[in-house]
Amino acid sequence: MLAHFILALRNAGIPASITEYLALLRGMKAGVADYNVDDFYHLSRAALVKDERHLDRFDRVFGEVFKGLEAPEGEGFDTLVRQLPEEWLRKMAEKLLTEEEKAAIQAAGGFDKLMEMLRQRLAEQKGRHQGGSKWIGTGGTSPFGAHGYNPEGVRIGQEESRHRRAVKVWDKREFRDLDDSVEIGTRNIKLALRRLRRFARQGAATELDLPDTIRSTANNAGSLDLKMVPERHNTVKVLLFLDIGGSMDDWVKLSEELFSAARAEFKHLEHFYFHNCPYERLWTNNRRRRESEVSTLEVLRKYGPDYKAVFVGDASMSPYEIVQPGGSVEHWNEEPGSAWMARLTGHFRRSAWLNPMPQAGWGRTHSIGLMRQVMEDRMFPLTLGGIEAMTRELSR
């Protein structure tokens, strides 16, 4: 069951590794938690989840996998204990172990040694299990009995969690707000902003101020006096290309807000608008399109390859708008949109596409697939996670 649990966690996108899994086993063995389900939940969470954004997912998986764990006789827990995942360990180890972990295991006597240790541990557990219904360790009558339901065992401050058995801790889903795979709204826009700021503000260290050092050393009658100054910030320059097609209005507003709120942090941030797909002309003011028109070639000339290009759009259109000359909905384009996209992504060394459509639906829209190809897969959902993946991509 533990094996199943870890697999379910990994399937849910929680990167629990074998190192962490072993830590959990060792923690159980060492008895750092009481022998009840709540503590098992706390311990496995502390060992397996390293990112608060994954806590809610963890809770869901935990609830799923350990359904019935609270069964009266502790059946669920016994099952859990009995199923030491030997098979799984071996299979997963080959796939999951990093080189350094493999080396660590080698150093500890090799994989067989490790398996033997685990088997031994299993045997110990079984032995004690026949004697009673407890998990490795001492004391307590059943895995749940330690003092979970016993009013005398209640410590100050634990009333709440100990009495409210009806709602299991993990079922409260208290970390729901921290999951970052939901679309960005007003609630988490601040967090998104933080990620962007972080992106804009990379690396500030100190460096030697040579002129000042020479001057001060001279003043010091030749005794060395080093002067340091903060390194100039790496200044990230960004060009934002926003789709203003009807369906995009809300998202455009959101992304504009997002980036302009982060504007102070970027040395250079410019935005341009397009409709569905960029062609030979862009514009800088959506309300006065005609007057604010600029030629795309001009943009390519004006902004160097060190600008990072971010496209924001749902990429949902007729495929012709991307692949056909004349495919645009509002004017005759001599060249297909893909040619202009190729020029833009070819010119700017780093580029990415942010798509506000829920990622699960991307596969159903042909044009999204096309645009992803054009972007060589650098399309990210407009979620906190997506923004982060994008900034990583852009700062590579």
Name which of 214 and 297 has its Cβ closer to another protein: 214
**Residue 151 interacting with another protein (CB under 8 A):** no
The 10 Å CB-count burial string (b at 16+, else e) for 241-266 is bbbbbeebeebbebbbebbeebeebb
Q: Are 207 and 231 in contact (CB under 8 A)?
A: yes
CB of 265 to another protein, least distance (A): 13
Q: Determine if 223 is a binding residue for another protein (CB under 8 A).
A: yes
385 sits in which H/E element: helix 384-394
Please tell me the distance from the alpha carbon of residue 12 to that of residue 281, in angstroms, as a whole number.
Answer: 43
Residue linked to tokens 């311990």? 43
Interface with another protein in residues 82-121 (CB under 8 A): 98, 100
**Which is nearer to another protein, 152 or 291 (by Cβ)?**
152
Binding mask 18-57 for another protein (x = CB under 8 A): -xx--x--xx--x-xx----xx--xx-xxx-xxxx--x--
Size of interface with another protein, in residues (CB under 8 A) = 47
**Cα–Cα nearest to 352, from 309, 315, 307:** 309
Min. distance of Cβ 368 from another protein in angstroms? 28
Sequence-distant (6+) residues with CB within 8 A of 252 are 242, 243, 244, 286, 312
Does position 222 interact with another protein (CB under 8 A)? The reply is yes
Cα–Cα distance list, 129 to 2, 114, 282 (Å): 17, 23, 73
Amino acid (one-letter) located at 272? F
Q: How far separated are the first and last CA of the chain, in Å rounded? A: 40
- What DSSP assignment string belongs to 143-179? TTTTTSS-GGGPPTT-HHHHH--SS-GGGG-TTGGG-
Q: 330-369 mask for another protein (x: CB under 8 A)?
A: ----------------------------------------
- Residue 198 vs 237, nearer CB to another protein: 198
Decide: is 160 part of the binding site for another protein (CB under 8 A). yes
Please identify, using beta-carbon distances, which residue of 47 and 262 lies nearer to another protein.
47
Q: Where does this chain bind another protein (CB under 8 A)?
A: 15, 17, 19-20, 23, 26-27, 30, 32-33, 38-39, 42-43, 45-47, 49-52, 55, 98, 100, 155-158, 160-161, 169, 174-175, 178, 186, 194, 198, 203-206, 222-224, 226, 230, 388
